């Protein structure tokens, strides 16, 4: 089991200043449209009295600016309503709506003179306030609905972010579990090699134990990394092949054909060891004569090709894939869904060949992405 803290990305909320700016822009847009409609409707452009056309504009922009100041409060009221709609919360929202709408309607009534009395602020009558309430109450309801819609969208973004984070963690857990299955498998086979050498060649046994210690230390160092540089993976596989050379003595010959400039290519950690181990165990280990193993890595466009070839008896059509190859295929599918492949085939009567294809990527490309 992989332990860790689940990190959830916070939805990309606009900064408070940016939100306030957008609210003000929207309300001033409403004021501009309302003023234009007011002026056109009353045909005031021909008047020589400056207040007959300036008054409505001032009144509309003042009221809409006030609504811009009220809107964040309405959004906060919408957040406070919560998912559990209780009568007390609904009553509180209604009370806020009546209070704010009454305040806005009173302001409209006081500014009525700017629209009809040449810029004179007049007293507000109850009848005027009541008339304006029929406009401001629905307007408050619309702003509250916008706040509820915004809250819903933010909640949905948060849920999607949590679901994505959980999916990533599950994928990492599955990948880590596959890697942990490889380590005991590799250790078991290496210990068998040591067991076979203990009595016959103590010096070789000490060398193998030292190499195994180095490999296990590196295994712990990269246990949490899904990918490593190709140069690191090659260093690991050379240490592993040194152990295998002691096991097979002069029967095992290895050759490397690595294209220049691929040291920084990213590959799955421990991707080479199962391929090499399969070639040794099911290829070279099943013949009596000298065994040859070739590792070839080359870049083909945006793809990286890894080929492991042996001179064993070829594939056994009745045999099932071992733990190492099965886990390698699963890890490739996990890391590069739909963009990787693992193929095993007979090498035209000269043994077997395993080919891995995966996207070519480097550390620099990942850092710049």
DSSP sequence for 6-21: PP-PPP-PPPHHHHHH
Same domain? 211 vs 328: yes
Tokens of 362: 């480097």
Nearest to 275 by CA among 186, 176, 181: 186
On whether residue 31 sits in a domain, the answer given is yes
Picking from 116, 144, 164, the residue at the C-terminal end of a domain is 164
191 domain-assigned = no
Full strand arrangement of the beta sheet holding 341-346: 252-258, 291-300, 303-310, 352-359, 341-346
pLDDT at 73: 85
Tokens of 89: 């919360």
Domain co-membership, 27 together with 121? yes
54 and 141 in a common domain: yes
What is the rounded distance in angstroms from the CA atom of residue 314 to the CA atom of residue 345? 8
Helix axes 126-197, 230-248, angle to 10 degrees: 20
Rounded CA-CA distance 124/121 in Å is: 9
Q: Is residue 158 domain-shared with residue 206, that is, in the same domain?
A: no
Last residue of a domain, one of 117, 143, 164: 164
Q: Which of 144, 164, 184 is the last residue of a domain?
A: 164
User: Alpha-carbon torsion 14, 16, 18, 22, what sign?
Assistant: positive
Say yes or no: 160 and 202 in one domain.
no
How many domains does the chain divide into? Answer: 2
In a domain, 181, yes or no: no
Three-class DSSP category at 293:
strand
**How far is the CA of 272 from the CAs of 63, 177, 249, in angstroms?**
72, 18, 21
pLDDT of residue 22: 83
Q: What is the CATH number of the domain that holds 300?
A: 3.30.565.10
Q: Which pLDDT value is given to residue 4?
A: 36
Q: Please report the sign of the dihedral spanned by the C-alpha atoms of residue 34, residue 40, residue 46, residue 47.
A: negative
pLDDT truncated to tens, each residue of the chain (369 aa)? 333 333 334 444 455 567 778 888 888 888 788 777 766 666 555 554 545 566 677 777 888 888 888 888 888 888 777 666 677 777 787 888 788 877 877 777 777 655 554 444 455 567 777 777 788 788 888 888 888 888 888 878 877 777 676 566 555 555 555 555 555 666 777 788 788 788 888 888 888 888 888 887 887 777 678 899 999 999 999 998 988 888 887 889 999 999 999 999 999 988 998 899 889 988 998 898 899 999 999 999 999 999 999 999 988 776 666 677 888 888 888 889 889 999 999 887 789 999 999 999 998 776 655
Taking the C-alpha atoms of residue 160 and residue 146, their distance in angstroms, rounded to an integer, is: 21
| In a shared domain, residues 149 and 202 | no
Q: How many of the other CB atoms lie within 10 Å of CB of 262?
A: 18
The answer to whether residue 323 sits within a structural domain is: yes
Which of these, 108, 101, 92, 109, lies nearest to 137 by C-alpha position? 101
Q: Residue 219 in contact with residue 185, Cβ under 8 Å?
A: no
What are the residues whose beta carbons fall under 8 Å from the beta carbon of 208, sequence distance 6 or more?
A: 190, 193, 194, 197, 243, 246
pLDDT at 122: 52
Are 155 and 252 in a shared domain? no
The range of the structural domain enclosing residue 142 comes to 16-164
Whether residue 90 lies inside any domain: the answer is yes
d(CA 305, CA 298): 5
Any idea which residue has 């097979």 for tokens? 248
* Burial of 32 from C-beta contacts in 10 A (0-12 / 13-18 / 19+): middle
Q: Is residue 128 part of a domain?
A: yes
Residues 157 and 205 placed together within one structural domain of the fold: no
The answer to whether residue 78 sits within a structural domain is yes
Q: Report the C-alpha gap between 161 and 153 in whole angstroms.
A: 12
| Domain-located, residue 185 | no
| 358 lies in the same domain as 217 | yes
Residue 157 sits in the same domain as residue 238: no
Looking at residue 118, what is its pLDDT? 46
- Whether residues 287 and 141 share a domain: the answer is no
Please give the pLDDT value at position 101.
Answer: 79
């Amino acid at each position: 089991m992989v332990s860790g803290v689940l990190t959830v990305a916070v939805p990309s909320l606009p900064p408070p200043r940016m939100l306030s700016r957008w609210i003000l822009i929207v309300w001033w847009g409403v004021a501009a449209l309302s003023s234009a409609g007011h002026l056109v409707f009353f045909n005031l452009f021909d008047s020589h009295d400056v207040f007959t056309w300036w008054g409505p504009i001032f009144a509309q922009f003042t009221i809409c600016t006030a609504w811009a100041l009220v809107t964040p409060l309405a959004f906060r009221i919408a957040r406070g309503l919560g998912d559990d709609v209780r009568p007390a919360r609904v009553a509180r929202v209604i009370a806020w709506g009546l209070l704010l709408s009454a305040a806005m309607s009173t302001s409209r009534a006081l500014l009525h003179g700017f629209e009809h009395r040449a810029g004179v602020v007049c007293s507000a009558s109850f009848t005027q306030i009541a008339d304006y309430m029929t406009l401001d109450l629905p307007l408050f309801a619309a702003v509250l609905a916008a706040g509820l819609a915004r809250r819903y969208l933010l909640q949905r973004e948060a849920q999607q972010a949590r679901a994505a984070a959980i999916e990533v963690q599950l994928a990492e857990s599955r990948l880590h579990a596959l890697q942990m299955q490889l380590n005991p498998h590799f250790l078991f086979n290496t210990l068998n090699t040591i067991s076979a050498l203990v009595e016959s060649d103590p010096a070789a046994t000490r060398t193998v134990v030292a190499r195994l210690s180095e490999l296990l230390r590196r295994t712990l160092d990269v246990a949490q990394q899904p990918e490593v540089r190709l140069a690191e993976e090659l260093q690991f596989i050379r240490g592993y092949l040194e152990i295998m050379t002691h096991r097979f003595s002069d029967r095992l010959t290895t050759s490397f054909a690595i294209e220049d400039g691929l040291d920084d290519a990213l590959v799955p950690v421990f991707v080479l060891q199962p391929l090499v181990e399969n070639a040794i165990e099911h290829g070279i280990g099943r013949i009596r004569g000298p065994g040859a193993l070739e590792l070839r890595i080359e870049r083909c466009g945006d793809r990286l090709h890894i080929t492991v070839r042996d001179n064993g008896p070829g594939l056994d059509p009745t045999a099932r894939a071992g733990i190492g190859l099965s886990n390698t295929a699963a890890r490739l599918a996990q890391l590069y869904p739909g963009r990787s492949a693992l193929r095993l085939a007979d090498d035209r009567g000269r043994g077997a060949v395993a080919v891995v294809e995966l996207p070519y990527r480097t550390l620099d490309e990942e850092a710049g992405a």
